[in-house]
Amino acid sequence: MGSASSTLTQYDIEDVQEHCNNLFSQQEIISLYKRFCQLDRNAKGFISADEFLSVPEFAMNPLLLKMVDGLNFKDFVVFLSAFSPKASTTQKIELIFKVYDSDYNGKVTFRDIMEEVLIKVMEEAGYSKDSSLLLDDFVKILDHPGLKMEVEVPVD
Furthest C-alpha separation in the chain: 71
pLDDT in single tens digits along all 156 residues of the chain: 544 446 899 999 999 999 999 999 999 999 999 999 999 988 899 998 888 888 777 776 767 777 888 899 999 999 888 888 898 988 888 888 888 787 778 888 877 777 777 777 777 777 877 877 778 877 776 777 765 555 555 565
Cα angle 9, 32, 51 (rounded to 5 degrees) comes to 120
The whole-angstrom separation of Cα 84 and Cα 77 is 10
Instruction: Report all structural domains of the chain as residue ranges with CATH numbers, in order of start.
Output: 1-102 (1.10.238.10), 109-144 (no CATH)
Give long-range contacts, CB 8 A cutoff, 24+ apart: 13-17. Answer: 15/74, 16/73, 16/74, 16/77
Residue 23 exposed, middle or buried by CB count within 10 Å (0-12, 13-18, 19+): buried
Q: Which one, of 73, 84, 72, lies nearest residue 22 by Cα?
A: 84
Look up the pTM and report it.
Answer: 0.65
